[in-house]
Amino acid sequence: MIYKYSVTPAMPYGLLEEYTVTNYIDFSKIGSGAIDFNTWKYFVGENALTLTLGLETYPEDNMGIAEIAIEFYDNQGCAAVYHIQNK
């Protein structure tokens, strides 16, 4: 069974429909241990780059995700690794 949902941010003056996000929950994957990288976007500012990632995770029973490691590559190979923990 797949459940489709949409989330729309709201302000006191109304809904911000242009920022609506639609996604799916695949109930057949619950407990399977599947991890899918499904979204990424970036914004380059004057002094910083903002990277937004989306993961779809279905951990096995009594298991979790200890860490996500993001590897950045340039034309010479791996340039950096960023570790995300405790999320």
Query: For the segment 10-69, what is each residue's pLDDT rounded down to a tens digit?
Result: 999 999 999 998 988 889 998 898 888 888 888 999 999 898 888 888 888 888 888 888
Residue 73 confidence (pLDDT) above 80:
yes
Domain interval for residue 59: 2-85
Neighbouring-strand partners of residue 54 = 39
**Distance between CA 61 and CA 82 in Å, rounded?**
27
**Distance between CA 65 and CA 67 in Å, rounded?**
6
Q: What is the pTM of this model?
A: 0.58
* Count of the separate structural domains present in the chain: 1
**Distance between CA 21 and CA 6 in Å, rounded?**
6
